[in-house]
Amino acid sequence: MVSRDDVARRAGVSTAVVSYVVNNGPRRVAPATRERVLRAIAELGYRPNSVARSLRTNRTRTIALIVPDIADSFFAQFARELQTRAHDRGFTVLLANAMDDPASELDHVKVFIERRVDGIVVAPTGLGRQGLDEIADSRIASVMVDREMPGVRSSSVIVDNHHGGYLATRHLLEHGHTRVGCIGGPLEITIAADRSRGWRQALLEAGVEPDPLLETHSSFSRLAAYRGTLRLLRARRPPTAIFACADEQALGVYRAAATVGARIPDDLAVVSFDSASTAPYLTPGLTSIRQPVAQLAERAVCRLIDQMEHPDRAPTRDCLPVELVVRGSCGCPDTEPDSGSHTTSKPGPTSG
């Protein structure tokens, strides 16, 4: 691979001048010389070696992203937004899947520390904090997104999960439902607990006593939600409406409704919490709490860069607002996919 020395030799200048030209730095280079250098670079096909540069400058311009599962549509979308924004600012993104395993999370963190990444964005598994503590100890800029871990000294950017659960449930109550079930996530995960708390609060405010038999807690997966919903629907006094704590779960709810022959929204109204962009394409369209994925990513990148520039600032905590997007599954008139409520989707060719 051709190096700076080769360019310098070819252009008849010293290596320093090549650096000045490449970096467009403050040092001035005579136009004619710059021209010669550029020509040499082009002729030799020279590519600056960023590994060497990183060693020298002690900055890798790399951000690591650790998610529980990139195949989950929420994290996939988040990854896209983050990567785009990082790229715009000259950063490259390293990807890691913790597979919901804290040991794997820790494993990845160690690798990233050795690689001297400039920042780490992590959506914690929520099941163990060794990885997060390791990050905090390393003094690398870092942000937790989507999920928090109490007690970890790190910045966080999350959405208002409690309010989302509240809004979703209140909407169902406004449709006249009183038996509103809740398909919840794992209780150890704070965002799951928060969403369920929102559900409970909305019920209480409406004077409805939350029925423990209408509340389930399991993994955020479709299958678990499918099984949980089946149990609820086959119980003696089934719910007439369901708040699903994630769109992934809503898929399970839809399927379970079909299995027992319940029509949505007539026999069973559904509101969910947006993680997927699938919502407008289900039948009926899925009424859902929209999370501002792009803003989450934007804020995460900003916080990260802030920390890189001011390592000693105290950790921050951002909580972004959510909103209810009404489609057909709650009983409201359904909307068509191209009516503008599919902002998380995007045009253009794609897919495999």
Judged by the rule CB under 7 A, the positions of this chain that interact with DNA are 1, 3-5, 8, 12-17, 19-20, 22-23, 25, 27-30, 32-33, 46-49, 52-53, 55-58
- One-letter amino acid of 156: S
Residues 321-350 that bind a second copy (CB under 8 A): 336-338, 342, 345-350
DSSP single-letter state for residue 337 = G
Name which position in 11, 13, 20, 100 contacts a second copy (CB under 8 A): 100
87 makes contact with a second copy (CB under 8 A): yes
Cα R_g (the chain), whole angstroms: 25
Cα(78)–Cα(83) distance, integer angstroms: 8
Tokens of 236: 């003696």
Q: Which stretch binds a second copy (CB under 8 A): 7-15, 34-42, 73-81, 199-207?
A: 73-81
Say how many residues make up the chain: 352
Q: Which stretch binds a second copy (CB under 8 A): 9-17, 107-115, 176-184, 202-210?
A: 107-115
Helices (H), 95-139: 102-114, 130-138
Task: Fill in the per-residue mask, 227 to 246: x = in contact with a second copy (CB under 8 A), - = not in contact.
Answer: x------------------x
Which lies closer to DNA via its Cβ, residue 28 or residue 236?
A: 28
Output the smallest distance, CB 138 to DNA, in A. 14
CB-CB contact of 121 with 93 (8 Å): no
Q: Map tokens 């690398």 to a residue.
A: 140
Name which position in 70, 208, 213, 294 contacts a second copy (CB under 8 A): 70
Residues 136-195 that bind a second copy (CB under 8 A): 137-138, 146, 185-186, 189, 191
Output the smallest distance, CB 345 to DNA, in A. 40
Which lies closer to DNA via its Cβ, residue 23 or residue 339?
A: 23
Cα(321)–Cα(319) distance, integer angstroms: 7
Cα(93)–Cα(72) distance, integer angstroms: 18
* Contact of residue 76 among DNA, a second copy, none (CB under 5-8 Å per partner type): a second copy
Helices (H), the chain: 4-11, 15-23, 31-44, 50-57, 73-88, 102-114, 130-138, 161-174, 190-205, 222-233, 247-260, 293-309
Residue 41 phi, psi dihedral angles, 5° rounding: -60, -45
DSSP single-letter state for residue 334 = P
Residues 116-145 that bind a second copy (CB under 8 A): 116, 123, 125-127, 137-138
320 makes contact with a second copy (CB under 8 A): no
Q: How far does the chain reach from its first CA to its final CA, in angstroms?
A: 35
Name, in order, each residue with C-beta under 8 angstroms of 79's C-beta and a sequence gap of 6 or more. 65, 67, 70, 93, 95
DSSP single-letter state for residue 263 = P
Which lies closer to DNA via its Cβ, residue 20 or residue 166?
A: 20
Task: Fill in the per-residue mask, 272 to 291: x = in contact with a second copy (CB under 8 A), - = not in contact.
Answer: ---x-xx-xxxxxx-----x
* Contact of residue 227 among DNA, a second copy, none (CB under 5-8 Å per partner type): a second copy
Which lies closer to DNA via its Cβ, residue 46 or residue 78?
A: 46
Cα(52)–Cα(42) distance, integer angstroms: 20
108 makes contact with a second copy (CB under 8 A): yes
Taking CA atoms, 341 is separated from 64, 279, 280, in Å, by 32, 10, 7
55 makes contact with a second copy (CB under 8 A): yes
Can you say how many angstroms the Cα of residue 105 is from the centroid of all Cα atoms in its chain? 16
* Contact of residue 30 among DNA, a second copy, none (CB under 5-8 Å per partner type): DNA
295 makes contact with a second copy (CB under 8 A): no
Name which position in 65, 121, 168, 330 contacts a second copy (CB under 8 A): 65
Collapsed DSSP state (helix, strand, coil) of residue 280: helix
Which lies closer to DNA via its Cβ, residue 4 or residue 163?
A: 4
Output the smallest distance, CB 225 to DNA, in A. 47
* Contact of residue 16 among a second copy, DNA, none (CB under 5-8 Å per partner type): DNA
